[in-house]
Each structure stands twice: as structure tokens, then as C-alpha cells.
């Protein structure tokens, strides 16, 4: 998968996490971590769609490892940022 594909996956994770966090906070304020699960599912689906459209001949294991590393790092950074903002 191309570099901009990974950038789009990370952006979709962050956008989905923000939206899901806002909705979950309004509905059930004691479960903000659910936003990370929702964001991970959506970003994974975006990554799979981009992989199939861009370069389906690329080795699947390489794409899976890349997406896994990207999403775990993005989740950690998002969580740290949200904790810093929340206090």
C-alpha cells in the first residue's frame, strides 16, 4: 500500500475516534474507551479498501503488519492527547 494510503487510514482513525468519543460521551459518559474500538474497526476497513484499490498484489502480511503498527501507534497517541486535554 502506498504512503498516502496509510495517511488516510490514520486520518480516518482520528476522525472516527473524535466523532465516536463525542457521541459516546453524550450517551454514556463512563465508556469513552469504546471510541477507540469503533475507530479501529472503521480504520481497518478503510485500510482494506485502499489496499484492494491501490495495490492488491502487495503482500497481505506486509500490509497487515503496517496497518497494525500504524493503528496501534495512532491509538496510543490519540489516547495520550485525549488524556492531556481532559486533565
pLDDT at 7 over 70: yes
pLDDT of residue 83 exceeding 80, the answer is: yes
pLDDT in tens, 15-49: 999 999 999 989 988 888 899 999 999 999 999 89
pLDDT in tens, 53-79: 877 777 888 888 999 999 999 999 999
Helix (H), strand (E) at residue 56: none
Long-range contacts at 17-20 (CB < 8 A, ≥ 24 apart): 17/78
pLDDT value of position 60: 83
SS3 53: helix
pLDDT computed for residue 87 by the predictor: 67
Residue 10: predicted pLDDT: 95
3-class SS of residue 24: helix
Amino acid at each position: 500500500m502506498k504512503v498516502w494510503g496509510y495517511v488516510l487510514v490514520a486520518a480516518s482513525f482520528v476522525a472516527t475516534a473524535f466523532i465516536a468519543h463525542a457521541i459516546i460521551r453524550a450517551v454514556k459518559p463512563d465508556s469513552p474507551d469504546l471510541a477507540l474500538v469503533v475507530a479501529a474497526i472503521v480504520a481497518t476497513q478503510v485500510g482494506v479498501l485502499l489496499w484492494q484499490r491501490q495495490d492488491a498484489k502487495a503482500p497481505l502480511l506486509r500490509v497487515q503488519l503496517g496497518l497494525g503498527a500504524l493503528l496501534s501507534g495512532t491509538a496510543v497517541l490519540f489516547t495520550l492527547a485525549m488524556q492531556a486535554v481532559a486533565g
